[in-house]
């Protein structure tokens, strides 16, 4: 039967050391991560950890932070508004961050800036010593980026590549090339491209790669315009879809899956059959919480893996271990569905 931890008084390092018959310093090396050249055998390390568990030892995190100048906390800054846990993309990123933090024995602090009104205030909160490093989801032109560049803060960008900053991205280009080649194989000659409504490095790379490969394959691309992140079909695109036969449009490529799902719903409402009248492809490939009525043709970007890798690189920066390249590109997977 397991021994229950004692709760009658605070357990000290000396208590642990006496139980295992080692010095308090050796116990500190094992339990508090004290930096030294002291080598501790695996057997002794196990005995110390077991004794700490049995006695109910809790390390003094404040003292450790003062000594090591680290909090063991990683921050997340989201520069595109507020994180919404029910959003599938946001949820997948958070899943990857949690995996990376668990793997690297770090905690995660999510920074919400809705109560701040200036870049200086946001930067002061991030650089105030609460965190050891930052995972950043923001456009390259975000004013906070320049503030971070001039500081000692360690940070890694994800989804959008930021020049001069370690960045972890999905292979947007190869995913878009795969979509173009897929549509070419099915004989499509003119395609509507539903663009991202805001500034996004990853969305720009997707579109540019698609347009280039489509042109090489003899496919004409017509730009669609929307101001809605959820993909609502607005007047200009509605007109293009209404005139699709006149314009020769037989397929639509969407910068993200929400945009593709919204287009499919719109087509159903106006009596346009997908894929018979209009083929539809998306991007991201995040599995929805429920089984969709129609399986979308998309590209799986595996954002959880991207976020997890970013944490790994950030921990390498903080600890001064391992290589931290300027750019890490993770593979994507083309996933044909029922909409093309």
Distance CA 268, CA 270 (A): 6
Establish whether the linkage from the previous residue to 275 is cis, with ω within 30° of 0: yes
* pLDDT tens-digit series, residues 218-277: 999 999 988 888 889 999 999 999 999 999 999 999 999 999 999 999 999 999 999 999
Give the architecture (CATH level 2) of 13-68: Orthogonal Bundle (1.10)
CA dihedral 243, 247, 249, 252 (to 10 degrees): -70
Within this chain, domains 13-68 and 73-170+304-332 share the same CATH topology: no
For the entire predicted model, the pTM comes to 0.78
Distance CA 88, CA 236 (A): 28
The CATH T-level fold of domain 172-300 is Rossmann fold (3.40.50)
Residue 129 CB contacts under 8 Å (≥ 6 apart), including other chains: 71
SS3 for 265? helix
* CB neighbour class for 63 (10 Å; exposed up to 12, middle 13-18, buried from 19): exposed
Local structure of residue 136 (DSSP, 8 states): E
What average pLDDT does the segment 308-336 reach? 93
Sign of CA dihedral 221, 227, 230, 232: negative
Count other Cβ atoms within 10 Å, centred on residue 244: 19
Residue 170 CB contacts under 8 Å (≥ 6 apart), including other chains: 159, 202, 301, 302, 303, 306, 329, 330, 332
Given a contact cutoff of 8 angstroms between Cβ atoms, the answer to whether 281 and 179 are in contact is yes
The CATH T-level fold of domain 73-170+304-332 is Rossmann fold (3.40.50)
- Per-residue pLDDT, 97: 95
* pLDDT tens-digit series, residues 153-203: 899 999 999 988 999 999 999 999 999 999 999 999 999 999 998 888 999
Domain boundaries, the chain: 13-68, 73-170+304-332, 172-300
Given a contact cutoff of 8 angstroms between Cβ atoms, the answer to whether 45 and 30 are in contact is yes
Local structure of residue 222 (DSSP, 8 states): E
Given a contact cutoff of 8 angstroms between Cβ atoms, the answer to whether 247 and 240 are in contact is yes
Q: Residue 58: which pLDDT band, with cuts at 50, 70 and 90?
A: low
Distance CA 138, CA 157 (A): 8
Residue 318 falls in which region: left (phi positive, over 0), alpha (psi -120 to 50) or beta: alpha
Tokens 């295992």 correspond to 20
């Amino acid at each position: 039967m397991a021994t229950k931890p004692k709760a009658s008084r605070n357990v000290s390092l000396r208590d642990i050391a006496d139980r295992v018959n080692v010095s308090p310093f050796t116990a500190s090396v094992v339990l508090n991560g004290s930096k030294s050249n002291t080598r501790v055998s695996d057997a002794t390390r196990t005995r110390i950890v077991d004794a700490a568990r049995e006695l109910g030892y809790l390390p003094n995190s404040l003292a450790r932070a003062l000594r090591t100048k680290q909090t063991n906390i990683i921050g997340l800054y989201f520069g595109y508004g507020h994180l919404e846990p029910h959003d599938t993309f946001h949820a997948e990123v958070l899943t990857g961050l949690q995996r990376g933090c668990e793997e690297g024995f770090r905690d995660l602090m999510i920074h919400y800036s809705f109560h701040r009104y200036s870049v200086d205030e946001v930067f002061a909160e991030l650089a105030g010593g609460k965190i050891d490093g930052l995972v950043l989801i923001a456009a390259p032109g975000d004013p906070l980026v320049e503030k971070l560049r001039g500081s000692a803060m360690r940070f890694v960008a994800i989804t959008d590549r930021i020049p001069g900053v370690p960045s972890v991205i999905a292979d947007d280009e190869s995913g878009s090339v795969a979509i173009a080649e897929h549509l070419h194989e099915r004989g499509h000659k003119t395609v509507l491209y539903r663009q991202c409504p805001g500034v996004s490095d990853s969305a720009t790379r997707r579109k540019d790669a698609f347009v280039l490969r489509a042109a090489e394959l003899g496919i004409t691309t017509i730009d669609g315009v929307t101001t809605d992140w959820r993909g609502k079909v607005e007047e200009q695109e509605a007109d293009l879809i209404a005139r699709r036969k006149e314009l020769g449009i037989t397929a639509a490529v969407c910068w993200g899956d929400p945009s593709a799902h919204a287009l499919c719903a719109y087509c159903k409402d106006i009596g346009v059959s997908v894929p018979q009248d209009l083929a539809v492809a998306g991007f991201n490939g995040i599995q929805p919480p429920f089984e969709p009525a129609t399986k979308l043709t998309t590209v799986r970007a595996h954002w959880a893996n991207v976020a997890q890798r970013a944490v790994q690189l950030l921990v390498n920066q903080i600890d001064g271990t391992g290589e931290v390249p300027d750019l890490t590109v993770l593979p994507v997977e083309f996933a044909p569905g029922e909409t093309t």
